[in-house]
A and B are shown apart, each in its own frame.
Chain A
């Protein structure tokens, strides 16, 4: 049964090949069928694998397709590996992926490059599946780079606008910086442990390295670099808001549900290694905390509906990192899954809004749309409730688990928890700011458009609404994967979490929603009067620019780099050789003058030569 693991990426890959080679000749209906159908088949395969896995005793499965690379003592296989963590990931990727593909068949139907879109989407799903079912780091790296490429291609999908191309390149290059760090990590792991096979690697590491050893710290730091780049965490988070230049289903699939969570997956997958380097693990938590706060502040100030969601994605992945950092592995993965549900829902809802309002992105030009766009309203309402961790929605359970996990950490635990709670407060504000501004109040434009919706677009939304509401009751089968970590967490949970804290965690997001209501719906407070304060205004513009990271990087890296490449356009090494040329031309000019044609001059020079020779012979 588990041999069909290889079929998982095969279907999307076949879909990609078909569309790539024959996309130009197929009718649109056929393209949509192939594009979405291949993912659907893949989902069925995933189910067929998962069912026996869950009903069985949940043991890991390995299946080596063939040996990829074998040089000397280095060997890497096309090997697939299935355990609880992988099960969650493949279900999210194929399940949510299928829904988004289905949605796209409606959303993209008018685009001239319909087949290119689905070809790359399929390639993306294939790469993402390879990433999560790889049994060794090199194959994981293949998937890792593959999704990066697809992300690049899809962000720049509407390539005629140079802005989109810029955003795409920014995304690719920024994540490449992280990938490079990860590649160095791979080199280090291989040279120290002699293998890249994940399971044996983890065993070797635990055998050979002590807790807090230099190698463990170096290796985890380098892997963390890769994760931070892919998951848009501090300090490599700047690419994700710009990545919203792509079509909205892309944002839902790649930049919310799957690819950006690859970093979380990587750390969770390598968690025994991180446990060997507690300092780095703490760093993961701090990065997560800092990112979630910074992105939360920024999200409150944005106008573009997709950028708000992008910053909220960064912020939510910050929560996942926080969870990873405090050792609440399963909570993080749980949040990864619920986040995939509600964020995909939000993005697809935003897609409906945008498509209905003729590519309007500015939320302040909408308003009062709940009657006009009922399905989108419903998705936003449910998605935002889950995002803001409204009690008993999916987001509530997962975020709660992470925060409880944070409390379990000795020392800084309380501060981490507090930070997370503050973040939750802002989550409440920005998520409902979006809902209130877009769907309530006065209509500020686009009065006449009706909602663009069809079965293909509505069905995924309904399914996701259900999942976003009830996803919190799913039990993810990762206990075996994180067995010892979970045991530790449970032990701490007993005594450290009081009812008071539970209450705080429930109330704070509600407070956030309330504040948002007072500002944006009830009009008790007004943003414009707040903006009259110079401090608020400065803060607002600072937050609006994403805490100035873009400017900082431009100043620190991009400008010097551009200057450096401009300054030596002509290749300074060449001037050395040009110098030789100039020298020999000069020598030629000099010696040409000596060729005067004057016979006596020639004779004299011959005589001088003879005299020199003779005197050399005679006097020396």
Chain B
């Protein structure tokens, strides 16, 4: 029931936020915040339910099943296990953060903005919890459309282009997934005599070898686009650089993770054989993502674009860890997702904060902000070094485990991917240098626009502080988080003959 009410709170909260605009313009943000906080409360209940056991591939912590279209085997089937709970917690935390980041920034049509924000969150929660694949697909689309509006209405100068690009990329690959999904259901009806979209049922489907790979690729395309991985990544820099801060935070922090979640939950368990065949290609894609996007990031002058490319680079580690398909790799992928969710969200908030203050994202026009805004500089430094994978912070744990997992299946992949860490240090420090260090333009009297640069206020400091503590926690005592997903991942790795297949595949 909790899962359904989570989705419900976001759905109705969104509607209420929209309506409340007509009462008072400042009301929607309070409504939005309230719904997010209620959801946080609901999730904390889920967290305790995980603690009391019941974590496993098919042993859900909490589930809800209701009939929808029985003749086609479509149900309202929501379920959560440890992995889901982690993702939900990240979603709600970043939801609150994004609402906070929009607090002063969004003045125009605020009601509709928070409506879209909450519906995006509802979609994401749905994606993380739906285990009826039709329902999953529904939420996959629900997540997309409000995000389109957020970018297209409240974005920056080139917003239409970015929003449309985002929409088309996600939509086209989403359709590919739909085709694959229907194919899967069709084969289920051939083999078991009835239609079913239920995850548990579809797990048993045995696809003919000739089409197995193609059906899997449909799912992979959708998830790899969301993740994103080279060569499906090019929507992301545009979407990120044009989206308002809250949009960037949600995109980087949460939406990208739905892709990785989809790979872990659906692609690999549903198509173990095809995945085993495909894994070398996926790992190569991951390695290319890591290096290529790190390289492209270096050449950017738009700070948000730069961070967007680094996101792609970091999500490459997630892909690498997932396709290593062992416990280390998967745990690494999950940790990277969580840590990157926080660090990238914070970096986008910082970039958004800078843009809000000085009205540019061009790093060539920034310099020496440390003197003017020391708190901001320290916060930026923290998240930059988190992004470059400093041990003791969450990103390191994730990347280390993912690489360690990858190393045990493919040494070349891991060794080349590690080079990405060097690039990460180059671009992270480059950002620090060009924005916060160097001579202060204000002191030299060259520039008057930077007069307006104010340091972080208390509200901002609070939210950055929360995220910093989160990253430190993940870096210094990651066991808290690893324990949540360990049961699920153990079962995933054990349950399939995939592991054996992998070993054979890679021994060639």
Contact = CB atoms under 8 A, between A and B. Distances in A.
A and B touch in the complex (CB under 8 A): yes
Interface of A: 20, 66-72, 74, 138, 141-142, 144-146, 149, 152-153, 156, 159-162, 165-166, 168-169, 172-173, 176-177, 180, 183-184, 187-188, 190-191, 564-566, 568-569, 571, 573-574, 576-577
A173 B437 contact: no
A169 B434 CA distance: 12
Scoring B233, B299, B421 by chain A CB atoms within 10 A of each residue's CB, the highest score goes to: B299
B403 A159 contact: no
Scoring A153, A180, A188 by chain B CB atoms within 10 A of each residue's CB, the highest score goes to: A180
Interface stretch (B239-247, B267-275, B345-353, B476-484): B476-484
Given A145-B390, A187-B403, A574-B234, A565 B296 contact: yes
Nearest to A148: B390
Interface string B347-375: 00000000000000000000010110000
A146 B391 contact: yes
B299 A568 contact: yes
Nearest to B326: A72
Contacts of B437: 156, 159-160, 162, 165
A451 B399 CA distance: 51
B93 interface: no
Contact of A573 (B231, B404, B425): B231
* Secondary structure type dominating chain A contacts: helix
B421 A67 contact: no
A184 B406 CA distance: 11
A565 B298 contact: yes
B482 A69 contact: yes
A146 B479 contact: no
Given A159-B438, A162-B438, 9 more contacts: A68-B477, A145-B390, A159-B370, A176-B422, A180-B422, A184-B407, A184-B415, A571-B237, A577-B234
A165 B438 contact: yes
Contacts of A569: 296, 299-300
Interface in B175-233: 230-231, 233
A460 to B, nearest CB: 29
A137 to B, nearest CB: 11
B53 interface: no
A146 B391 CA distance: 7
Nearest to A574: B234
B403 A183 contact: yes
B50 interface: no
A66 B299 contact: no
B327 interface: yes
B43 interface: no
A74 B403 CA distance: 13
Contacts of A69: 397, 401, 478-479, 482
A191 B429 contact: no
Scoring A66, A153, A165 by chain B CB atoms within 10 A of each residue's CB, the highest score goes to: A165
B300 A184 contact: no
B295 A568 contact: yes
B284 interface: no
A70 B482 contact: yes
B430 interface: yes
A147 B499 CA distance: 39
Contact of B486 (A71, A142, A165, A187): A71
Interface string B374-396: 00001001000100001110001
Contact of B433 (A66, A162, A183, A184): A162
A169 B327 contact: no
Contacts of A180: 418-419, 421-422
A242 to B, nearest CB: 14
Nearest to A139: B391
A146 B392 contact: yes
Given A169-B429, A169-B430, A176-B422, A573 B407 contact: no
B313 interface: no
A576 B233 CA distance: 12
